[in-house]
Chain A
Amino acid sequence: MNRLLLITAAVGALCAVPLASQASPEEDLKAFQAYFQERFPNVPFEDFANGVYAIDKASREQWEAIEEFPPYEIAIEEGEEMFNTPFKNGKTYASCFRNGGIGVKGDYPYYDTEKGRVETLASAINECRTKNGEKPLKYKKGKLASLVAYMAYTTRGQIVDIKIPFDQRARDAYEAGKHFYYARRGQLNMSCAHCHIDNAGNKIRADLLSPALGHPTHFPVYRSKWGNLGTLHRRFAGCNKQVRAMPFKAQSEQYRNLEYFMTYMSNGLPWNGPGARK
């Protein structure tokens, strides 16, 4: 796409009035979850963790069959092996995390008041590596996705409980993520909210749009379209490209803040990653 169009699109995004007023995160959370429960009154709350399969009976059956022999199983095994293999210095990932790194996916994302930024599990994994003299891994797929898959797996069944501390910088990060979600972007001029809030449950061509509530719970995801596992930020980039917007880098500040907002909005749902999707 040519430069001019991107600029027009960017200006469009800036001009878009954020639907968001300056409500507190707690108020946002209530309104957000109430909206989806009203829109899908027959979906039990925990089921929103299952994305599109919570609202589509037909595809749910195929998905349940796939989950019998999950395509992400090999990735969990690869992640576990990496997790337990010492670095060259003899230490392991366990040394970098609370509880030896078992069942800790729910600690992320959080606002790190020392660093003054949102920390994600993926960024913490790479930080652990560099601290121990290893090279950082790529953020969208491959080894890092497998490690996150294993760590998600050991966290299954815990309840999402993300905190927005009473710290202006944390509030700002949250607000930035929220603004991102509601801002129009790209040549097609659409926001995340247009598809996953306003039109959740509607069809865009042949695809049913999943509700925003529950999106981050089951990542990383094995997508048949990708033929492998991908992280949440890989999906963000994909959805940005769909509307012909320039995607941001995985683990960019924009995407970390977005993850912070989205995961907070899923508070109360079970962590159930990794997942399998079309």
Chain B
Amino acid sequence: MRKSASSTLAAAGALTLMLGSLAIAPQAALAAGASVVEEGKAIAFNRKKGNCLACHKMKDGTLEGNIGPALVNMADRYPDKKDLRAQIWDATQVNPNTIMPPYGKYKILTEEEIDKVVEFIYTR
């Protein structure tokens, strides 16, 4: 459910971008959400930032590694977004021997960047 809602969001975002300044107020509000997802994607895919593709397959990714599980149906799998954020912030909380870097705990990403990555991963 949430997944389809967010793809509508993304579509609305794209439309708003195309319409540019012609966009009416409600659309502008939606566009903010969509751009957060886009920013999150850029952070997640950037090799010097999240570099999540080093280990995870996900939609729109290329040359992904296979160390971690494919990231799919995230909204269904994480009904509470906080759990998803916690996994990214410090994966050792769930699996003490994990190879996944503790993005928040070791400040690999800022808190704001993590929020954006969470929004993006939630759409996968």
Please list the residues of chain A having a beta carbon within 8 angstroms of any beta carbon in chain B: 5, 8-9, 12, 187-190, 194-195, 198-199, 202-207
**B102 close to chain A: CB less than 8 A:** yes
- A202 touches which one: B51, B65, B101, B107 (CB < 8 A)? B65
A9 vs B101: C-alpha distance in the bound complex, in angstroms?
Answer: 11
Determine if B55 is an interface residue (Cβ-Cβ < 8 Å).
yes
Whether B106 contacts A202 by the Cβ 8 Å rule is no
Contact status B66-A189, CB under 8 Å: no
Query: How many Å lie between the Cα of A205 and that of B67 in the bound state?
Result: 9
Question: How far is it, in angstroms, between the C-alpha of A204 and the C-alpha of B64 when the chains are bound?
Answer: 7
Question: Cβ of B99 < 8 Å from any Cβ of A?
Answer: yes
Interface mask (B14-57 → A, CB under 8 Å = 1, otherwise 0): 00000000000000000000000000000000010001011100
Asked if A204 and B106 sit within 8 Å, CB to CB, the answer is: no
Q: Does B67 contact A12, Cβ atoms closer than 8 Å?
A: no
**Minimum Cβ distance to chain B for residue A95 (Å):** 48
User: Which residues from chain A contact B92 at a C-beta distance below 8 Å?
Assistant: 189
Interface centre among A189, A199, A204, A207 (most CB of B within 10 A): A189
Q: Choose one: B63, B106, B107, B108; the contact of A205 (CB below 8 Å).
A: B63
| Contact residues of A: prevailing secondary structure | mixed
Q: Are A5 and B107 in contact (CB under 8 A)?
A: yes
Query: B65 contacts A203, CB within 8 Å?
Result: yes
Beta-carbon contact of A199 and B106 below 8 Å: no
What chain A residues lie within 8 Å of B64 (beta carbons)? 203, 205
- Contact for B67 among A5, A8, A199, CB less than 8 A: A199
Contact-residue bracket for chain B: 10 to 19
Contacts of A207 in B (CB 8 A): 65
Instruction: Given A202-B65, A204-B67, A205-B54, decide whether A195 and B108 contact each other with a Cβ distance below 8 A.
Output: no
CB-based nearest B residue for A5:
B107
Contacts of A5 in B (CB 8 A): 106-107
8 extra interface residue pairs, beta carbon distance < 8 Å, beyond A187-B107, A205-B64: A5-B107, A187-B101, A187-B108, A188-B101, A195-B99, A203-B66, A205-B54, A207-B65
- B82 → chain A, closest Cβ, in Å? 22
Q: How far apart are the CA atoms of A187 and B108 in the complex, in Å? A: 7
A189 & B102 in contact (Cβ 8 Å cutoff):
yes
The closest CB in chain A to the CB of B90 belongs to: A189
- Closest approach, in angstroms, between the C-beta of A58 and any C-beta of chain B? 15
What is the CA–CA distance of A206 and B102 in the complex, to the nearest angstrom? Answer: 22
Given A188-B101, A199-B99, A205-B54, decide whether A8 and B65 contact each other with a Cβ distance below 8 A: no
**In the complex, chain B residues whose CB is within 8 Å of the CB of A202:** 65-67
Q: How distant is A141 from chain B, measured CB to nearest CB, in Å?
A: 25
24 contacts between A and B (CB under 8 A): A5-B106, A5-B107, A8-B106, A12-B106, A187-B101, A187-B106, A187-B107, A188-B101, A188-B106, A189-B102, A189-B106, A198-B99, A199-B67, A202-B65, A202-B67, A203-B66, A203-B67, A204-B54, A204-B65, A204-B67, A205-B51, A206-B63, A206-B65, A207-B65
Chain A proximity of B8: nearest CB distance (Å)? 32
Closest residue of A by beta carbon distance from B53: A205
Residues of B within 8 A of A198 (CB): 99
Residue of B nearest to A201 (CB): B66
Given A187-B108, A188-B108, decide whether A205 and B102 contact each other with a Cβ distance below 8 A: no
Q: Is the CB of A9 within 8 A of B106?
A: yes
Q: Which 6 A-B pairs have the closest CB atoms?
A: A194-B99, A203-B65, A188-B101, A206-B63, A205-B54, A204-B65
CB distance from A266 to the nearest CB of B (A): 23
Chain B: CB-nearest residue to A207 = B65
Chain B residues, Cβ within 8 Å of A189? 92, 101-102, 106
